[in-house]
Amino acid sequence: MEVAALLTSAGINIAVCVTLFSIYSVLRKQPSNFTVYFGRRVASKRSKNVNFCLERFVPTPSWILKAWETTEDEILAIGGLDAVVFVRILVFSLRVFSIAAAVCLFLVLPVNYHGKDRLHKDIPLESMDVFTIANVQQHSEWLWAHCLALYVITFSACSLLFFEYKSIANLRTLHIIGAPPSPSLFTILVRSVPWSPEESYCETVKKFFSSYHASTYLSHQIIYKCGTVQKMKDDAEHVFRVLKDGTMENTSKPIFTHCCSCGGNANSFQMINIERNSALESTTNTSSDLDMRKKECAAAFVFFKSRYAALLASKILQSSNPMLWVTDIAPEPQDVYWSNICIPYRQLWIRKIATLIASIAFMLVFLLPVTFVQGLTQLDKLQKMFPFLTEILKSKMVNQMVTGYLPSLILVLFLFAVPPMMMLFSSLEGCISRSGRKKSACYKVLYFLIWNVFFVNVFTGSVISQLSVFSSVADLPVQLAKAVPSQATFFTTYIFTSGWASLGCEIMQIYPLLCNFIQRLLKLNDDSQNGTQNFPYHTEVPRILLFGFLGFTNAILAPIMLPFLIIYFFLAYLVYRNQFLNVYVAKYDSGGQYWPIVHNTTVFSLIFAQIIALGVFGVKHSPVASGFTFPLVVGTFLFHQYCRQRFLPSFKSNSAQTAIDMDRRDEESGKLREIHQHLHSAYCQYGLLHDPDLPRCFSHCDPDEEDAQFSPQRSLKGKEILKKEKSGSFHRTSSTKAVVLGGM
Amino acid sequence: MEVAALLTSAGINIAVCVTLFSIYSVLRKQPSNFTVYFGRRVASKRSKNVNFCLERFVPTPSWILKAWETTEDEILAIGGLDAVVFVRILVFSLRVFSIAAAVCLFLVLPVNYHGKDRLHKDIPLESMDVFTIANVQQHSEWLWAHCLALYVITFSACSLLFFEYKSIANLRTLHIIGAPPSPSLFTILVRSVPWSPEESYCETVKKFFSSYHASTYLSHQIIYKCGTVQKMKDDAEHVFRVLKDGTMENTSKPIFTHCCSCGGNANSFQMINIERNSALESTTNTSSDLDMRKKECAAAFVFFKSRYAALLASKILQSSNPMLWVTDIAPEPQDVYWSNICIPYRQLWIRKIATLIASIAFMLVFLLPVTFVQGLTQLDKLQKMFPFLTEILKSKMVNQMVTGYLPSLILVLFLFAVPPMMMLFSSLEGCISRSGRKKSACYKVLYFLIWNVFFVNVFTGSVISQLSVFSSVADLPVQLAKAVPSQATFFTTYIFTSGWASLGCEIMQIYPLLCNFIQRLLKLNDDSQNGTQNFPYHTEVPRILLFGFLGFTNAILAPIMLPFLIIYFFLAYLVYRNQFLNVYVAKYDSGGQYWPIVHNTTVFSLIFAQIIALGVFGVKHSPVASGFTFPLVVGTFLFHQYCRQRFLPSFKSNSAQTAIDMDRRDEESGKLREIHQHLHSAYCQYGLLHDPDLPRCFSHCDPDEEDAQFSPQRSLKGKEILKKEKSGSFHRTSSTKAVVLGGM
């Protein structure tokens, strides 16, 4: 590829981006698109009144200004800590690649360009290869420039990483301290409660915690089975009873009347308890008690009187059998992934291994269907199979379309299936929180992208040749050194087509826009809040990290890529800030857990770049440069180990100091009692006993769109129960509220 | 090698063993050898009175009977949990290899022997290769026998492993519950106390724990710097002051007067505190206070009122900076490795990486000097270098000695250097306990042995060919399949020479016996307790595991090895039980921490054996057998993961339930107050303030021989201080006891 061609390609993509951004700036001003482009504001009920005027149809850069001017505190307030971390990734990338570009463009690029004694053409007609390290002669003494650039990049990246890690760890602590009291800090999730023939799980939990954590235990809430299997079993039992008793009356009692109906031994709830007991006596009988026991999971939320007590209980091995009484700090109420909490704890290890194997298999065989289709699109075969196509395919344009465009279209379509697939794997893995599931999916998508974009393009070929990469580990650096520089042009165009274009698509929100348009066309206006969705960290974080990976690995090999990368990061910075401000709603937050992923990936990218450089210096027969690069690899590894030690533990767990300080502050201000009362209504598994005093119950259990996608049984079940409730088939006792409030 | 030769070799070795055992049974009856063969009993002051009679000089099997009849409870009482675990390793090996031998001798061996249609010679003249899998034809249908045997071995090993793990985990819990109250359960070790310019570490620790653990904190004891560097610095300061002041008076005050002199805020010690304070005021002044601050380490033992509180404090992240206030449960007082406790916590990660790299390097280059010497012993080179040798080397016997015996002698001598070397690495690594150090050394010796005995023999060659094994991972099973069966004879003789012979040496205690003999010859009788030593788990556990590894990998390939292996394990069972009963003293105990090593190694051996079998079945072109072996590998891996999940956590930490139950028991029986009082004198860093009321202080700090080997500065320092004390140069205030007892 020539420079002119590359610049043309860049120009076209820039034009596309500018067009998309302009269209966006017009579309966002149309009131009908508010739900698409201002989902967050619509969700928080702050809709604008916009009158018809000409200005509405003129593209304006106001959104850019707005996105630029927003402070980090605003982002934190709107999008939570995860949004701040995401923006920090972009800022970090901008900084480190600006330094890299400065060094590489002014030092490495001239060395590459003048690497061989040859007659240079005009720059626009020059081949791209002239600008890569492939143009440097063997035994060249100028390779110190590449080595120096590598040092500068590594040192700047490591120091920036260190300060970012430190600052985010601090921010995390401050965020926890500064945020309003979260019920999750007072709550632990207990799984694998031992089964006993005499007692229900509920009683077992109560007995255990009142015995071993008497001074700090507040109350607990048992978790009930849900999911498709349970639904089917319920239905079968229902039918069985109908056939047996000839009446439906004693089966129509929903399981929720008993929900959360035990464990209330906190003093402040004694009064309500009494009411509850009398209410229960009047509504329950022995057979339904047995029913309830069958529907209990071996899991419960246990509430403690202080954050410190909950932290302690979550970190300690409770029983001498580590498979019983497994404790974890509970996720935020809106972050709980209910359908996974019921999974027996003993299954988790095998689920993790199975999903790991499935993900790796998916990663490796992903290209199989694509190559299969590519084989099909060889026209002669197609024509043999479908003779009627012969006429159509005679046209040159159709021919080009089918052979050139169809395979990549299919590849892109398959790529679209990757994040949902990985999300499904993460759901099956058994994560107890939505944020945990997303984080796990983020890892999987990241590995997938790096493998299938980088490695498969570098070692173009089938699954067999993919695997053969590992059969000779020692030769890997040399193989990479030969393959990577020649693919630099492809990666540069990849930045245009996948990077810039994806930002355009992101800001245009094409799919929601279409949905909205069709809805308006068909006048289906009842689902107006469809657009509010959580930020897709599991697709966007890996994308950014992939570009970072490409940047680091190509920085000294083909520095011409760096300016385009900086443009990408800058646009991304504007676009994503705008999206955080306007589109996405932060329903749950992982508390900055994405930063360790970013850190690890960046260090991996750096070490990988250094190993490729080692290979290149080896191929170019420059022992001095190789000799200087080796300590850099060791140094980067040591830096990584130090950071693991220094920062990672504080991302895994709160510190005692923080928890105690927060407890003291609340105790002094007298808030603790109020928090305890709120605790009991915080976690609501079904969220369907609608009560004006329990507004939070509903909001927690509102399934967001991605959940509807992967756990249809839950939303189905929810809808069905809602219908039942509407039709009045629930026996609502007068003390339902007491049952819910006091029972926990 | 022929069968007759193998049996001859076995016979010779058996004769050697029987002779050694007989000599032992005579020598042990001689009163002069009591310190060698009854070190434990001598240490516990139960010496026998034996009169001169003929019986003393007749070999008897009484010791065998005694060793056989001893129950596990006795072993537990005498040698601690580690001894029980060690005996269990032998019992497990005996069981699993009995099953393996039964299957392999009656099923696999006939298949191997009749594998090829050939004329068999008389069995004594038959080559050993006829009994290995190498004798089975390609495409043979009889390979299912090997596959079946592999299944039987794997299933029996896994089920035995599971029940052993379970039983040892239970035993561990029972041992903790049943043992007399251990101070370590009430104590945590805090490292990386933050430095502040205003306060001493002592005050900082007191402030932190009285603030954040007010209800459970009892007191603390700061740790003072020790070691060579500190000694040198002290000396330099001493000289400096002598030169400056012209007098030695103000420097002769030992640092111990202030030792443990703060933190006593427990109510029960208020009275003594007052006494202490007045005593301190009279003996300290500002300049010595500053001295003390300089000598303080950023580490302390912190005592808690209950086991549960100590457990909690040790498991929780204390500060939001994970590099500050690092807490661990404290080792037993006699288990503390004092010189490592002072190592700054920030150094530990780099020390760990450095020792890891050093151990790997040592492992890989270990054979370099040996091959170098082997090169030298080629006679022509030697003769060229030293012409005067020509005459000597003309003798055939000398010639054979030098070429045949010298290299293996050098190898054995180098092998003797391995355990101390690994122990040194483990010391440098920074383990805080002696048992931890021994466990770490055990891992290192194990890897070393498996690498240098198995791999280097299988892939005979230099470092380069060692490393090239890893360059083509995919070919490894096939390479192993070709190499391992041909080495089966070597491994069988290795069992005779290294296994059986080592047991003879072990029971004879040759080195202590010689020392004792020389001492008696020179009439140096003052060091009568020299012989009491801890059991060398770091050399014996790896040895047993290596034989297990050889057994598993060769079981189906060369089953003729198994009977000899069973004899080894049986002899080892008798010998080691005898040694536990009579020779070794259990000064410290890791609490069964060796079992996870055993479990992991056995599972590794199994999987390795299965992979070799896969390779063999591949080489023999038996896809069915390969197909059946593959699920076995997966199943064994899953079994390992399950066991990790099920048992490992209870080896890492006590459970809350256990700790609370023990606390309650002590509280109900009123023992808790007594325990609290004992706590303050439990950990004594120097152990030199000899006081009749503090007998334990001395026993804790008694350096055992292996410590003298690796931390000469400690014992030197101890001796020096002891000398000082004897010469009366200490200022002993009247309230020394109060300082020590109340100060902590």
List pLDDT tens digits, range A224-253. 877 655 666 666 776 776 666 544 444 333
- Rounded-to-integer distance, Cα A473 and Cα A462, Å: 18
Contact list in A for residue B475 (CB cut-off 8 A) is 471
Q: Which residues of A touch B474 (CB under 8 A)?
A: 470-471
Higher pLDDT, B694 or A202: A202
Give the pLDDT confidence score for residue A451 in this predicted structure: 85
* B596 touches B608 (CB < 8 A): no
Q: What is the DSSP letter of B304?
A: E
pLDDT-derived band at A255 (thresholds 50, 70, 90) equals very low
Rounded to an integer, the average pLDDT of A97-119 is 86
Most confidently predicted of A72-76, A545-549, B31-35, B496-500: A545-549
Q: Which residues of B touch A465 (CB under 8 A)?
A: none
Beta-carbon contacts of A513 under 8 Å, excluding residues fewer than 6 positions away, are: A27, A33, A36
- Amino acid identity, position B233: K
Which one is predicted more confidently, A78 or A719? A78
Per residue in A124-165, pLDDT tens? 777 777 788 887 888 888 888 899 999 999 999 999 999 999
Q: Whole-angstrom Cα distance, residue B373 to residue A544?
A: 57
Q: Which residue has the tokens 């299919």?
A: A410
Whether the Cβ atoms of residue B596 and residue B89 lie closer than 8 Å to each other: no
- The pair of three-digit structure tokens given for residue B484, joined into one six-digit string: 């391992």
Amino acid B255 reads I
CA atoms within 13 A on the CB side of B433: 21
Of A619, A625, A627, A628, which is closest to residue A134 (Cα–Cα)? A619
List Cβ neighbours of B662 (8 Å cut-off, separation of 6 or more). B176, B177, B181, B185, B307
Write down the residue that tokens 């996608």 correspond to.
Answer: A709
Q: Which residue of chain B comes nearest to A311, CA vs CA?
A: B316
Distance CA A8, CA A240 (A): 72
Q: What is the pLDDT of residues A21-35, one digit of tens each?
A: 888 888 887 777 777
Reading the block at residue A557, the tokens are: 């090999």
The conformation of residue B180, written as its DSSP 8-state character, comes to P
Residue to substitute from B217, B321, B347, B637, interface A, most A β-carbons within 10 A: B321
Mean pLDDT of A463-489: 70
Q: Quick one: tokens of B646? A: 């099920």
The residue of chain B with its CA nearest to that of A661 is B212
| Torsion sign (Cα): A706, A712, A714, A715 | positive
Task: Determine the Cα–Cα distance for residues A506 and A90; give it in Å rounded to an integer.
Answer: 16
Look at residue A371 in the predicted model and tell me its pLDDT: 66
| B-chain residues near A349 (CB < 8 A) | 641-642, 645
Report how far residue A478's alpha carbon sits from residue A617's, in angstroms, rounded to the nearest whole number: 9
Rg (CA), chain A: 30
pLDDT for the residue numbered A452: 81
First to last CA, chain A: 69
Contact A320 B212 (CB under 8 A): no
Residue B261 near residue B288 (C-beta atoms within 8 A): no
Q: ipTM, 2 decimals?
A: 0.78
Is the pLDDT confidence value at A467 over 70?
no
Task: Give the model's pLDDT for residue A408.
Answer: 63
What pLDDT was estimated at residue A251?
38
- pLDDT at site B600: 95
pLDDT of residue B701: 34
How far is A722 from B586, CA to CA, in rounded Å?
Answer: 68
H or E element in which residue A187 lies: strand A187-191
**A703 dihedral zone (left: phi>0; alpha: psi -120 to 50; beta):** beta
Residue A456 vs residue B137, higher pLDDT? B137
Are A186 and A307 spatial neighbours (Cβ–Cβ below 8 Å)?
Answer: yes
**Run of H or E residues at A301:** strand A296-304
Contact B317 A650 (CB under 8 A): yes
Residue B106: partners with Cβ closer than 8 Å, 6 or more residues away: none
- Cβ-defined contact of A320 to B646 (cutoff 8 Å): no
- Mean pLDDT, to the nearest integer, of A59-77? 83
Strand arrangement of the beta sheet that strand B187-191 belongs to: B217-224, B296-304, B187-191, B326-329
Q: Cα angle vertex A549, ends A544, A553, to 5°?
A: 150
Beta bridge pairs of residue A433: A336
Predicted local distance difference test score (pLDDT) of residue B486: 77
Question: Does A317 contact B638 at a Cβ distance shorter than 8 Å?
Answer: no
How much is the mean pLDDT over chain A? Answer: 77
| Average confidence (pLDDT) per 10 residues, chain B, 744 residues | 77 84 82 77 60 69 82 87 93 94 90 77 74 82 89 95 93 86 89 87 90 88 74 69 55 37 38 41 55 80 91 89 90 87 88 92 78 61 69 68 63 81 91 91 92 76 56 72 79 81 83 83 61 82 93 89 91 90 85 92 94 89 88 93 91 88 88 84 64 33 36 38 39 34 32
Alpha-carbon gap, residue A127 to B442, rounded angstroms:
60
Comparing A458-472, A542-556, B129-143, B322-336, the range with the smallest average pLDDT is A458-472
Q: What is the pLDDT of residue B682?
A: 82
Contact A320 B658 (CB under 8 A): yes
CA distance A350 to chain B (A): 8
Among A175-179, A555-559, B610-614, whose mean pLDDT is lowest?
Answer: A175-179
- Please indicate whether, in this complex, the C-beta atoms of B320 and A655 are within 8 angstroms of each other: yes
Q: Which two tokens stand for residue A480?
A: 């990479």
Strand partners, A328: A189
| Closest to B458 in 3D by CA, of B549, B540, B369 | B549
- The Cα–Cα gap between B586 and B557 comes to 40
Question: Among all residues of chain A, which has the CA nearest to that of B208?
Answer: A657
The alpha-helical segments, DSSP class H, found in A187-227 are 201-212
**Smallest Cα–Cα separation from A145: which of A485, A616, A476?**
A616
pLDDT score at B638: 93
Give the CA count within 13 Å in the CB-facing half-sphere of B509: 28
Integer Cα distance of A610 and A629 in angstroms: 7
pLDDT at A569 over 50: yes
Among A165, A177, A287, smallest CA distance to A597 is for A165
Q: What pLDDT sits at residue B696?
A: 34
Other Cβ atoms less than 10 A from the Cβ of A119: the count is 4
Rounded average pLDDT over A46-55: 57
**Chain centre distance of CA B732:** 40
A357 pLDDT more than 80: yes
If pLDDT is split at 50, 70 and 90, which confidence band does A703 have? very low
- Give the span between the Cα atoms of A553 and A550, in whole angstroms: 5
A173, A316, A642: residue with CB nearest B312: A316
CA B624 to centroid of chain Cα atoms: 43
Give pLDDT tens digits for A427-442.
999 888 999 999 999 9
